[in-house]
């Protein structure tokens, strides 16, 4: 599997190929913990937030919300404790970038969290990692111990009055806990049910205190923003999408992997056909899901010859979204009806059951897919699927409902031939 | 009338509450370390469930009773959380839990062949455990290993880029 940068100098992936890259010695020898030193020596919390604002860093978990703005929502005068929570609950199908950041450069995350904690005045902070990534929690715990021994966690960090602690926390196999309010419910020891917004976590989050929840990739971008300055970081990308972005590439390409690209990389066709080594076994490209399973699926003819720019606006213009940057490439052998059924089963399994449209809707969708798959398709089923999606999208408590509806809506509209084949009863009933 | 309303029927069978599980001093110390991370005890519920599960094979009623006492919660609070999370087992599972990822990237890269091979070799279908209790087989959702598909996780270990031959070697190497 490939891990590296294309079209720019590696920034977040700068150390991943170094020997013993996860140790504090290697991290320090390669520029590590210089940013937190600069912050503690010469910057106020507001300076840090302004620098992050200038960087136009947008949340890498999927929503793309500007990080600096999220940080500025935390009230400065609140008497309550404040928390920074790292969302390492990477569970979006097609996404595996955070895994390699945690595995190979855990100190980069610690430094990013230290800077965030300083900017927000947070004393105690957590890294919420999905339960399946237990080996990464073990790696993180070793790195945290190293940092503690080096005086980078605890009281009087680097001889200043800054005090901060970071702890790991484990999830237990629930996709919904990647949604920030569900994550906080889970971290408090409850079922992972999302909460009503507002109040947003910045006002009332963990233990009803001001909290910032950021993705691993977002927090690991912060040390470089401090070191090179917000403006320089933004200029690596585009005006509205600063910096570089990690893309997880899987499916039918010759070189799957984690790719760091400058935001605004053009174009998507070149990326798949050249950078990722082209299609596996010389087959034809059929479809791409570019942002993790929750975004619109794209047809090959929306990509080939279309110069789709790879950043937040570019992908929307191209007909999809950046999401978590999980690229699933599918060749001509894939039946989009089958692939959509597979993802719908995922959302049904992961629906938390809290609200009716999502709980009942995803279950009903799966039942329809199974009936069609069993040879019982009816011509009006395409309409029925769209109708159901319309009653889930925007009507569920959290975005999981939207995430279940979008792949189906886009698949039915963009690959009608794959659906018609099954609805006409020509689909082979599965044994 | 009010007398009738407040009359509580005693259960016609004895209510059995299991004795809480007992753990070694080393495990108790590990639990203390987790509790120390949080300002609120309840937050440690998932890490503690994993410990109980590791020690007892699954989260059994004595384990639940223990957690309720330790976290000062009701038994129902523990069950409520336990039944939400797919990695918390409330029933016994095999010594080796083979969890094949079935989500899209793995599916299109040959998950079917892996599942079929494991299934044939062990003589069990997904959702079943071998009669000797050594292996359980499950199909699970995305494990974040899409670039190295197909893959499975055995207990907490990742095995990636699987082929039938590789599966044979992996299973043969398990003690």
pLDDT in tens, chain A (431 residues): 999 999 999 999 999 999 999 999 999 999 999 999 999 999 999 999 999 999 999 999 989 999 999 999 999 989 999 999 999 999 999 999 999 999 999 999 999 999 999 999 999 999 999 999 999 999 999 999 999 999 999 999 999 999 999 999 999 999 999 999 999 999 999 999 999 999 999 999 999 999 999 999 999 999 999 999 999 999 999 999 999 999 999 999 999 999 999 999 989 999 999 999 999 999 999 999 999 999 999 999 999 999 999 999 999 999 999 999 999 999 999 999 999 999 999 999 999 999 999 999 999 999 999 999 988 888 899 999 999 999 999 999 999 999 999 999 999 999 999 999 898 764 444 44
Please, which residues have CB within 8 angstroms of residue A313's CB and are 6 or more apart in sequence?
A238, A240, A241
DSSP secondary structure string for all residues of A319-380: TS--TT-EEEEEETT--HHHHHHHHHHHHHHH--SSSHHHHHHHHHHHHHHHHIIIII--TT
Count of all residues that appear for chain A in the document? 431
CATH no. for A336-423: 1.20.1440.230
Structural domain harbouring B28: 17-82
Residue A86: name the closest of A141, A147, A15, A166 by CA: A166
Residue A318: name the closest of A300, A336, A332 by CA: A300
Q: What is the ipTM for the molecules in this complex?
A: 0.94
Give B59's pLDDT tier (boundaries 50, 70, 90): very high
Residue A134: name the closest of A81, A163, A172 by CA: A172
Please, which residues have CB within 8 angstroms of residue A100's CB and are 6 or more apart in sequence?
A3, A16, A258
Question: Looking at the domain assignment, is residue B149 inside a domain?
Answer: yes
* Nearest CB neighbour to A342, from listed B40, B104, B140: B104
Element (H, E) at A111: helix A106-120
Question: Looking at the domain assignment, is residue B87 inside a domain?
Answer: no
Smallest Cα distance from A379 to chain B, Å = 26
Whether B65 and B107 share a structural domain: no
Q: Which residue bears the tokens 């947008």?
A: A58
Contact B76, B82 (CB under 8 A): no
- Say what the alpha-carbon torsion angle A44, A47, A48, A52 is, to the nearest 10 degrees: 170
Other CB atoms within a 10 A radius of the CB of residue A37 amount to 15
Question: Looking at the domain assignment, is residue B7 inside a domain?
Answer: no
pLDDT at A415: 97
| Two structure tokens written together for B30 | 């590990």
- 3-state SS class at A201: coil
pLDDT at A425: 60
Q: How far is CA A375 from the centre of its chain?
A: 37
Q: Is A131 in contact with B85 (Cβ distance < 8 A)?
A: yes
Q: Is A251 in contact with B109 (Cβ distance < 8 A)?
A: yes
Whether B76 and B114 share a structural domain: no
Residue A49: name the closest of A222, A237, A235, A180 by CA: A222
- Say what the alpha-carbon torsion angle A57, A63, A65, A70 is, to the nearest 10 degrees: -110
| Residue B1 pLDDT greater than 80, yes or no | no
Strands A124-129 vs A83-88: parallel, antiparallel or unpaired:
parallel
| HEC letters along A257-270 | EEEEEECCEECHHH
Determine contact: A95 vs chain B, CB below 8 A: yes
d(C-alpha A419, C-alpha A411), whole Å: 9
| Residue B47 pLDDT greater than 90, yes or no | yes
Number of domains, chain B: 2
Residue A116: name the closest of A56, A72, A167, A168 by CA: A72
Q: Is B108 in contact with A91 (Cβ distance < 8 A)?
A: no
pLDDT at A431: 42
Smallest Cα distance from B13 to chain A, Å = 32
d(C-alpha A30, C-alpha A312), whole Å: 31
Whether B72 and B110 share a structural domain: no
| Geometric angle at alpha carbon A285, from A279 and A291, rounded to 5° | 95
* Nearest CB neighbour to A173, from listed B43, B87, B109: B87
DSSP 8-state code for residue A1? -
* Nearest CB neighbour to B42, from listed A188, A330, A346: A188
Whether B102 and B52 share a structural domain: no
d(C-alpha A287, C-alpha A225), whole Å: 35
Q: Which residue bears the tokens 């523990």?
A: B78
Whether B55 and B104 share a structural domain: no
Whether B106 and B157 share a structural domain: yes
Asked whether the domain spanning A336-423 has the same topology as the one spanning A10-235, the reply is: no
d(C-alpha A216, C-alpha A5), whole Å: 18
Question: Looking at the domain assignment, is residue B118 inside a domain?
Answer: yes
Contact A352, A401 (CB under 8 A): no
pLDDT at B15: 76
| Residue B121 pLDDT greater than 60, yes or no | yes
pLDDT at B13: 80
φ, ψ for residue A380, nearest 5 deg: -80, 0
| Geometric angle at alpha carbon B40, from B39 and B44, rounded to 5° | 105
> Which of B60, B82, B104 is where one domain is finished?
B82
Residue A187: name the closest of A218, A215, A213, A216 by CA: A213
Question: Looking at the domain assignment, is residue B90 inside a domain?
Answer: no
Q: What is the pTM of this model?
A: 0.95
Question: Looking at the domain assignment, is residue B4 inside a domain?
Answer: no
DSSP secondary structure string for all residues of chain B: -HHHHHPPPPPSS----PPPP---HHHHHHHHHHHTT-SSGGGGHHHHHHHHHHHHSS--HHHHHHHHHHHT--HHHHHHHHTT-TTS-SS---SEEEEEE-SHHHHHTTHHHHHHHHHHHHT--TT-B-TTSSEEEEEES--S-GGG-S-EEETTEEE-S--HHHHHHHHHT--
A179 preceded by a cis bond (ω within 30 of 0): no
* Nearest CB neighbour to A343, from listed B85, B87, B104: B104
Please, which residues have CB within 8 angstroms of residue A125's CB and are 6 or more apart in sequence?
A83, A84, A85, A86, A113, A116, A117, A164, A165, A166, A167
- 3-state SS class at A149: helix
Residue B80: name the closest of A397, A207, A352 by CA: A352
Whether B54 and B112 share a structural domain: no
Residue A174: name the closest of A388, A349, A12 by CA: A349
* Nearest CB neighbour to A190, from listed B44, B81, B148: B81
- 3-state SS class at A161: coil
Searching chain B, which residue's CA lies closest to the CA of residue A95?
A: B144
Most B CBs within 10 Å: which of A342, A362, A366, as the mutation test of the B interface?
Answer: A342
Contact A55, A96 (CB under 8 A): no
Superfamily of domain A10-235, CATH level 4: NADH-ubiquinone oxidoreductase 51kDa subunit (3.40.50.11540)
Whether B102 and B78 share a structural domain: no
Smallest Cα distance from B3 to chain A, Å = 38
Whether B48 and B100 share a structural domain: no
Residue A271: name the closest of A253, A286, A251 by CA: A253
Smallest Cα distance from B50 to chain A, Å = 9
| Two structure tokens written together for A34 | 């210089």
Encode pLDDT of B79-91 as tens digits. Answer: 999 999 999 999 9
In chain A, domain spans:
10-235, 244-331, 336-423
d(C-alpha A142, C-alpha A368), whole Å: 48
Q: Is B46 in contact with A1 (Cβ distance < 8 A)?
A: no
Most B CBs within 10 Å: which of A2, A61, A82, A93, as the mutation test of the B interface?
Answer: A93
d(C-alpha A311, C-alpha A309), whole Å: 6
d(C-alpha A354, C-alpha A344), whole Å: 18
- 3-state SS class at A142: helix
Question: Looking at the domain assignment, is residue B12 inside a domain?
Answer: no
The domain A244-331 is placed in CATH, from the list 3.90.79.10, 3.30.365.10, 3.40.50.720, 3.10.20.600, at: 3.10.20.600
Contact B140, B102 (CB under 8 A): yes
Q: Which domain CATH number covers B22?
A: 1.10.10
Q: Which domain CATH number covers B135?
A: 3.40.30.10
pLDDT at B9: 75
């Amino acid at each position: 599997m490939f891990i590296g940068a294309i079209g720019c100098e590696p920034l977040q992936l700068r150390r991943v190929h170094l020997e013993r890259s996860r140790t504090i010695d290697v991290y320090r020898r390669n520029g590590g913990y210089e940013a937190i030193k600069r912050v503690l020596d010469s910057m106020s919390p507001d300076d840090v937030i302004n620098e992050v604002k200038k960087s136009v860093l947008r949340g890498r978990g999927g929503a793309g919300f500007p990080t600096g703005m999220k940080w500025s929502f935390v009230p400065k005068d609140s008497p309550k404790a404040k928390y920074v929570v790292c969302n390492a609950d990477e569970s979006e199908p097609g996404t595996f970038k955070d895994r390699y950041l945690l595995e190979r450069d855990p100190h980069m995350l610690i430094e990013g969290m230290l800077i965030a904690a300083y900017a927000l005045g947070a004393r105690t902070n957590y890294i919420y990692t999905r339960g399946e990534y237990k080996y990464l929690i073990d790696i993180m715990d070793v790195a945290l111990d190293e940092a503690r021994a080096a005086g980078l966690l605890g009281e009087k960090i680097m001889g200043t009055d800054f005090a901060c602690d970071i702890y790991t926390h484990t999830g237990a196999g629930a996709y919904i806990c990647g949604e920030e309010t569900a994550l906080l419910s889970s971290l408090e020891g409850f079922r992972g049910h999302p909460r009503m917004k507002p109040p947003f976590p910045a006002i009332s989050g963990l233990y009803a205190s001001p909290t910032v929840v950021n993705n691993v990739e977002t927090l690991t971008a912060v040390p470089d923003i401090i070191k090179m300055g917000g403006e320089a970081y933004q200029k690596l990308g585009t005006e509205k999408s600063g910096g570089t972005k990690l893309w997880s590439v899987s499916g039918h390409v010759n070189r799957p992997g984690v790719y760091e690209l400058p935001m605004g990389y053009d174009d998507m066709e070149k990326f798949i056909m050249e950078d990722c080594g082209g299609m596996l076994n010389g087959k034809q490209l059929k479809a791409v899901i570019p942002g993790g399973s929750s975004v619109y699926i794209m047809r090959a003819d929306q990509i080939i010859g279309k110069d789709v720019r790879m950043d937040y606006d570019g992908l929307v213009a191209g007909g999809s979204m950046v999401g978590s940057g999980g690229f699933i490439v599918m060749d001509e052998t894939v039946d989009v009806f089958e692939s959509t059924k597979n993802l719908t089963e995922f959302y049904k399994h992961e629906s938390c059951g809290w609200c009716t449209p999502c709980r009942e809707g995803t279950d009903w969708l799966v039942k329809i897919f199974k009936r069609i798959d069993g040879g019982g398709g009816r011509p009006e089923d395409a309409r029925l699927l769209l109708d159901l999606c319309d009653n889930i999208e925007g009507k569920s408590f959290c975005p999981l409902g939207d995430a279940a509806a979008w792949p189906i809506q886009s698949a039915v509209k963009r690959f009608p031939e794959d659906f018609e084949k099954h609805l006409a009863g020509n689909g082979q009933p599965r044994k | 009338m009010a007398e009738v309303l407040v009359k509580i029927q005693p259960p016609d069978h004895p209510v059995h509450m299991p004795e809480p599980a007992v753990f070694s001093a080393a495990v108790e110390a590990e639990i203390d370390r987790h509790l120390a991370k949080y300002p609120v005890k309840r937050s440690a519920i998932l890490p503690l469930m994993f410990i109980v599960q590791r020690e007892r094979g699954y989260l059994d009623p004595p384990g639940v009773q223990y957690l309720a006492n330790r976290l000062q919660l009701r038994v129902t609070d523990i069950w409520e959380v336990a039944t939400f999370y797919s990695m918390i087992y409330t029933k016994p599972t095999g010594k080796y839990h083979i969890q094949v990822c079935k989500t899209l990237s793995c599916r299109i890269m040959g998950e079917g062949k892996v599942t079929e091979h494991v299934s044939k070799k062990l003589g069990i279908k997904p959702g079943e455990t071998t009669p000797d209790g050594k292996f359980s087989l499950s199909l699970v959702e995305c494990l974040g290993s899409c670039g190295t598909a197909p893959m499975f996780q055995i207990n907490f270990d990742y095995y990636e880029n699987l082929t039938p031959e590789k599966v044979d070697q992996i299973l043969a190497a398990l003690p």
